[in-house]
Amino acid sequence: MQQLPLDGIKVVDLTNVLAGPYCSYQLMLFGAEVVKVELPGAGDLARRLGPDPELNRELVGASFLAQNAGKKSVELDLKSPAGRKVFESMVADADVLLENFRAGVLARLGYGWDRLRALNPGLVYCAISGFGQSGPMSEAPAYDQIIQGLSGMMSVTGTPETAPLRVGFPICDTIGGLMAALAVSAALAGRQRTGAGSFLDLSMLEASLSAMGWTVSNYLISGMEPEPMGDQNATAAPSGTFETADGPLNIAANQQAQFETLCRLVGRPDLPADQRFAGREARKEHRAALNDELNQALRAKTALEWEELLSREGVPAARILTVPQALALDQVRERGFLADVPYPGGGGRRVTVTGNGVLIDGTALRPRDPAPLLGQHNAELGVAHERAG
């Protein structure tokens, strides 16, 4: 890999916490130079977020370290004449401007799309917000959990007895960041043909609804209102979590041949001949009875034994792991997904961060530098005065 796809692209990043920083982290991994513009003396709120109080006090909280490696940091007050002058110079020289303020905030500071486009006709300006820049909810505050609830995501997470439940990580922030990175990349590709920039108005609510896939499309197309099904897959059976000798096992025998292979391997070759289980729709209708039959057979071996046996025969199956166990998988390690970078400010310490699962010409994408200290690049980028003033 001689050159990364976004080498030479300059991103001015006004974002905070997760959705925006996750977007700019992806752009950085693909080669872009990302400069975080942070409030003097305070910086990104994520600098104070995480389980380690010492890191939070040092303004390098775990949440910040995870999403900001490889970026630069400057402190700018966009309400001060000096800060505005520097910001306008940065915008004029940038390829991308990224922000995740509440809708209209940047425009009220004097930097609406018309002004930004006048400063730089080729600028790709991406605004990430909970609901987009228009509509009756556009100025409402939104965090990940708010979007999870409004999107219907929580209503289908859990069982009928436990729903609604929040997904166990900030999935809507992540989806918003990924969609923003995709939109920015597409806009940059389009600019190569036209030379013109564009304004990308990204709604986390709409991006999340889009990402919910068949949960939404089954309702729109077939009128089937989704319901929480716990660990079961509404589109197929047997497809869900099953019991083994030592713990749970996910099995997704979604095709007829996979189902027949599963039954043979667990010692129940008779099940496909049972009219309750003979076809896909019949299995869905009699899901509970089928699961009972399979659970009895699967208790004969451990989850790992079944994972190896079933996978080898083409039936998708795997244990349910904890996060530490998942990160320790040889598969993850061998592909270079985890990267050790220096702790901000040096001192010999190291921090482990993730890549994004993409290999280019066989090489994993990873940060080149650690996450920046607040204002670390003020002098380099000509804004040292902002720290003092």
> CA–CA separation, 331 vs 27, rounded Å?
24
With 0-12 CB in 10 A as exposed, 13-18 as middle and 19+ as buried, what is 361?
exposed
Tokens of 184: 């920015």
Nearest to 27 by CA among 187, 215, 243, 143: 187
Backbone angles phi, psi at 144, to 5 degrees: -50, -50
The helix (run of H) or strand (run of E) holding residue 126 is: strand 124-129
Nearest to 286 by CA among 316, 249, 259: 259
Which residues have CB under 8 Å from 322's CB, separation 6+? none
Residues forming CATH 3.30.1540.10 domain(s) in the chain: 239-243+248-319
> CA–CA separation, 12 vs 169, rounded Å?
27
Residue 52 annotated among the catalytic residues of the structure: no
With 0-12 CB in 10 A as exposed, 13-18 as middle and 19+ as buried, what is 241?
middle
Q: What is the architecture of the domain spanning 10-211+336-388?
A: 3-Layer(aba) Sandwich (3.40)
Each of the 389 residues of the chain gets a pLDDT tens digit; together they read 579 999 999 999 999 999 999 999 999 999 999 999 999 999 999 999 999 999 999 999 999 999 999 999 999 999 999 999 999 999 999 999 999 999 999 999 999 999 999 999 999 999 999 999 999 999 999 999 999 999 999 999 999 999 999 999 999 999 999 999 999 999 999 999 999 999 999 999 999 999 999 999 999 999 999 999 999 998 899 999 999 999 999 999 999 999 999 999 999 999 999 999 999 999 999 999 999 999 999 999 999 999 999 999 999 999 999 999 999 999 999 999 999 999 998 777 899 999 999 999 999 999 989 999 999 999 988 886 544 34
> CA–CA separation, 278 vs 177, rounded Å?
43
> Cα–chain-centroid distance for residue 252?
24
With 0-12 CB in 10 A as exposed, 13-18 as middle and 19+ as buried, what is 137?
middle
> CA–CA separation, 185 vs 206, rounded Å?
19
219 in helix, strand or coil? helix
Domain 239-243+248-319: CATH superfamily is: formyl-coa transferase, domain 3 (3.30.1540.10)
Tokens of 271: 């099940």
Residues forming CATH 3.40.50.10540 domain(s) in the chain: 10-211+336-388
Q: Which of 13, 52, 173, 274 is catalytic?
A: 173
> How would DSSP label each residue in 130-189?
SS-SSSTTTTS---HHHHHHHTTTGGGSS-TTT-S---SS-HHHHHHHHHHHHHHHHHHH
